[in-house]
Every structure is written in C-alpha cells, then in structure tokens.
Structure 1
C-alpha cells in the first residue's frame, strides 16, 4: 500500500506534515500503528519539554499496534524514514519513538536535523559516569536486539542484561496496573541480582509506567522518551 503523506495519522491534528506551521518543534515518530500510544508518548514528551519546545507527532499508517519482534522492527524502518523525511518547516529534531530505533541511522543520514532514538539515547544516559545498567521490558523476542544495540554503542562492558516478562506484551500493555507491577518487579531484580546502577524501562509504549516507577527506586530508572528529548535539547542547534 502506498504511504502518502496525507495518510499518516497525526496525534492532534488532521493536517499533513507539510502543512504544519513553522513554529519550532520536535517531531515524534511512532513506528507502530496505535494512535493512542502516539498521543500518550506525545503528552509525556511535551510535559517533559515544558515551554522549551513544542512536540508534534505522527503515527505509522499500518503495521502492528506494538512492535514485539525483530521482523516487525525491521519492517517499521521504511515508514520511519518516510515520515521523517517529510518533516515540515520549523522541525528542529526528530525522535524515533520505538525502543529498537528502527530506521534511525538511515533517517539521520537523509535529513539535516538531528535524530534521536529511544534505545541509543537511554543507553548513553544510563551508562553515564561508567554506571552498570540494565533494561526492563516486556518483549522477549527483542532481547537479542537490545544486547546488539549495547554492543554497537560500545557499552557492552557496562550492560548488565535485559530482564523481561514472559507474559504476552499486548495483554500487559492493555492492563496498566499489571504492566507497572511487572516492570517494578523486573527493575528490582535487575538491581538486586544483576547489580544494575541504572535501569531503563525499554519501550515507548511503556512511557507511563516508566514515569510511575522512577520515584520508587534508589537508582535512576530511566524513561527512554525523556532521554531522547534531553539528548536533542542539549544541542545548541535544537534548543537555540
């Protein structure tokens, strides 16, 4: 199916990307097809940004409602690049809103604005100061991909591994209380058994749970969406 610009789902407006006003903004791309997830992620990032910059968001027009396998991650990359290349005037940077960072490197090479991925940004933040870090998530089929990302980033020596639920990811995502409870248990295990000095809640759709868990632990519990935002805003060409 052709992916025309006008067919993409916008979280809060029906206009195509090219018709956006020139107000400085970051573009948040949701590589999955769940518009509710897009709205949730946009709200999290906008609240974290405060008055520093506006956040626009787009949703993939097709594909799964949640990316849970390497095949789905790979398939999402094309749409990410297409949506990112169509960014409108005023775009200062792009956030790829899936933990596997699908299409991030290709998109970064194709546009003139910086591109941040949830996985890369959060791993770099978690590893700051030489900390040992782990990932808590709910997508077991992506465990190997997460380890490969740490290797690519040169952080394998600090990576304590991934703690993951065996419950169906879509079922957990549909039950916010169970999701938060499960991720809390995984985070505690990563700290107690793996020696993690920081824990990443690995997934864009897990953003609300990450916010709730952060105050509960003595070590940093990182929300990838916020990490990606702060990575971009630290750049003078974005924040200026």
Structure 2
C-alpha cells in the first residue's frame, strides 16, 4: 500500500479532517491517505508572518512522518514550506498551488485563482510568477477567512460564483483554481454554476503525487534539492 501524507500547515484539526476526507475521495486504488497538522503553530495562514511559523511546522511534520510516507502533499495555498520540505523528505513533496496551476494549464488557456482572504493574494502571485504563468493566470480574492471554512464552504457558492463570472468576463478566464485547501466541496456546485472547470489543489496534488510514485520519479538530488549538509540538518532538527 502506497502512503501519501497530506500536511495541513495550520493547527486546525477540523480543517485537517476535511482536507483528508477530500484527498481520500480522489486517491487512486492502492493509495492510502493520512492527514497531519502541527502540534504548535498558527490556526490559519493568512499573513507572511503566519506563513513563516507554518513552514517550520511543515518541516517538523515531514521529519516526523518521513519514514512511513511515500510522498507528501502540502495543503496550503502559497505552497508554504514546500521547497525546504523537498530537501528533507525522502519522497516527492507536492504543493497544492503548483499542482493546481499546472493542472489548469492542461485544461484552459487562461484561468483564475480565487483565494481568501484578500491579503493572501500575494502568496498566490508568488507561485504564479515563479511558474512563469503571469500571462495565463489572474488572481482575485474574496473577503472571508479560513475560519469560515471549518464547517464547509458551500455557503460561499454565490460569492465565488460572482468572482468567477468576473474573471471570465473581464480577464477571459476559462477555468477556476480554488485558492484554499478548505474549498473542495465547492468544486462541483461552482463548476455547474459557472460552466467552467474548477480545480481543487489538494485533489490535483494527490493525483500528481500518485503519478510520480507510480512512475518511480522522485525529487532530484542533483543540486537544488540535494540533501542538507550535516550542520544545516542539525539546525533544522533544533528548530523543529
């Protein structure tokens, strides 16, 4: 049995449970999904400061679960701690943002990220531009917080539909990327409402991680993600 650990960088057990359930729903046969969140950290990642604390939690969880995990999915829009986690993890580490954007490229010429809350749009822009997709992707945000997603997100359907229609009419968007890990239950109703593909990054990341494992492809150790030196590893262990 192949095991993928879905890392929620914030401390919300409720959000971890919801993300894990959504990931299990799309996992291929023979892939086991486990969810995890830090013991100590921040309840949501809605600022640059919170993102830095959350990144430490991601590293700690990767170190803790690495021996029993074939691949990791980081379930935070902005791909919090992903690059560092790739240096530490034995297997592939997939960020939900990169996975969602790359998936959108396969189904639409232009697409839009709808994230939340507005101040986190910078996190989305960072990944969009790192992938060189600024010419194909626009980013917008709705004024709600991650805490509003603990009991699901379908109550935000109208809000997201309005943002999606605006992206379609004003920016030529042909697909929508949901910019938070707690929005999976919006995929089907939003797609039906706006008549466009809607992509959940956690689902995309689980699919990509499963494919990499099936192909036997892991993180390159040639240079950028080469194993850490002994002093750096000791520092990471001390921080985590």
- TM-score normalized by the length of structure 1: 0.82
User: How do residues 152-163 of structure 1 correspond to structure 2 at under 5 angstroms?
Assistant: 152-159=130-137, 161-163=138-140
Q: Is the 8 A contact 1:137 1:183 kept in 2?
A: no
Per-residue deviation at 1:171? 4.1
The equivalent residue for 2:221 is none
Distance 1:168 1:203, change over 3 A: closer
1:43 to 21, 41, 49: 21
Choose between structure 1 and 2 for higher RCO, CA contacts under 8 A separated by at least 6 residues: 2
What per-residue deviation string (whole Å, max 9, x for no partner) do you get for residues 43-64 of structure 1?
1111111523000111122333
Per-residue deviation at 1:233? 1.5
Which structure 2 residue ranges, 5 or more long, are not aligned? 218-240
The equivalent residue for 1:198 is 175
1:183 to 148, 160, 163: 160
Distance 1:175 1:181, change over 3 A: farther
What per-residue deviation string (whole Å, max 9, x for no partner) do you get for residues 143-190 of structure 1?
12211211111111211x222123455346667343232122212221
Distance 1:113 1:211, change over 3 A: farther
- Which range moves more in the overlay, 83-92 or 47-56? 83-92
The equivalent residue for 1:219 is 196
1:85 to 63, 74, 95: 63
Which structure 1 residue ranges, 5 or more long, are not aligned? 1-22
What per-residue deviation string (whole Å, max 9, x for no partner) do you get for residues 108-156 of structure 1?
0122200000111101111226621110122111112211211111111
Q: Name the Cα RMSD after superposition.
A: 2.2
The equivalent residue for 1:16 is none
